[in-house]
């Protein structure tokens, strides 16, 4: 079993069974995509919560 981090990127070799090789560009692009998605989700959830609290306040005013 061999795990390497070199100029090309990440390499994982398990003999005849598994060989995985990922370039640094792919690793960096994947990390940035995951971070961007988490930021988007956090912003979207914040807007949903703000809209939900406004909707409840309006509904309570009309109920009286």
| Tens-digit pLDDT profile for residues 12-45 | 998 888 899 999 999 999 999 999 999 999 988 8
pLDDT at 30: 96
Per-residue confidence (pLDDT) for residue 34, from 0 to 100: 97
Summarised one tens digit per residue, pLDDT across range 4-14 is 898 889 999 98
Asked if the model's pLDDT at residue 55 lies above 70, the reply is no
Per-residue model confidence (pLDDT) at position 44:
85
CA distance 46 to 20: 39
pLDDT of 52 reads 61
* Sequence-separated (6 or more) residues with CB below 8 Å from residue 10: 3, 4, 20, 21, 22, 27
Report angle CA 9, 13, 17 to the nearest 5 degrees.
140
């Amino acid at each position: 079993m061999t795990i390497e981090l070199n100029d090309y990127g990440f390499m994982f070799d398990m003999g005849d069974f598994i060989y995985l090789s990922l370039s640094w560009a792919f690793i960096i692009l994947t990390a940035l995509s995951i971070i961007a998605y988490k930021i988007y989700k956090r912003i979207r959830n914040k807007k949903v919560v703000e809209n939900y609290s406004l909707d409840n306040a309006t509904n309570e005013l009309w109920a009286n």
